[in-house]
Amino acid sequence: MHFPGTPVSLTDATAPDFSTLLQRQGLYPKPAEVHANTSLVPTHATTILAFKYADGVLVAGDRRATAGNAIMYDRADKVLEIDRHSLMAIAGVPATAWEMARVLEHSFHFYRRSQLAEMSIEGKVRALSKLLRDNLGFVLQGVGVVVPIFATYDAAANAPRVYFYDAMGAGFEAAEYTATGSGSPAVKAVLHFENTYGRRPLKKLKPNEATLLALRALDTAAESDSATGGVDRRAKIFPIVKLITERGIETLSDARLARLYRGNLASA
């Protein structure tokens, strides 16, 4: 990798990750020293969830972005593809989260091109932790909080992996499911009930069953949380739903979600 007008040494070319390369070249942005502005109301994106099902892991997010009590946007994409088998779902400030996703995507790509191998699962998890720690200055001032979910498929173990984080960068692996954002308490309640008292646990659900559960959970959260969009029946806006399997990532189209919804949930 070469930046115009900047000599790149062998050490730079073999940097372990994209962020380190930028730091060595003096191009990595330093944490900004800003003071909290109480008049600034940042845009927030909620709610996201992930759970393991029979074929892999499902990641979903509603489409609403809010600023205080105002709805800023009802078609926000909160589930972002990082590589062929990895997704980052975002809850918090979209401007910060989307930039983290871009840096993470480039970091994985740089490692793959420079090391001729995929970054390990542990390396990917820690790379996102580092980005969250670098954002700590903004978090402490309440203007850039991000609490993401990272989901991937571990080819070596032939198993899906799901991780959730706090705003300071601590990462935790979820055994079965997780959710973050303002609507997450309702989502977790739905997932717990289905996993514990439903006809089958989450890990045995087929793709359509898992998708219907995700729609139910987000729609339930929207009933009590104004920041969660759920299913917008009037505008026909559906959550973003993506599936990760050993074959890669599949994005479910709005047409497929609409058919599932009308056939199973609309009259419920």
Q: What angle do CA 212, 77, 200 make, to 5 degrees?
A: 20
H/E element holding 103?
A: helix 94-115
CB contact set of 257 (below 8 Å; sequence gap of 6+): 211, 215, 238, 239, 241
Cα 166 off chain centre by: 13
Looking up tokens 């759970």, which residue turns up?
Answer: 51
DSSP state at residue 255? H
46 has catalytic annotation:
yes
Q: Which of 160, 189, 193, 188 is nearest to 175 (CA)?
A: 160
* Contact of 139 with 126, CB cutoff 8 Å: no
Annotated active-site residue in 38, 43, 46, 228: 46
Strands 149-154 and 57-61: unpaired
- For residue 157, count CB atoms less than 10 angstroms from its CB and return exposed for 0-12, middle for 13-18, buried for 19 or more: exposed
Cα 2 off chain centre by: 30
* Contact of 132 with 168, CB cutoff 8 Å: yes
HSE at residue 73, side-chain half, CA atoms within 13 A, is: 13
Residue 214 CB neighbours (<10 A): 26
Task: Give the integer Cα–Cα distance in Å for 78 and 173.
Answer: 20
Give the active site residues.
Answer: 46
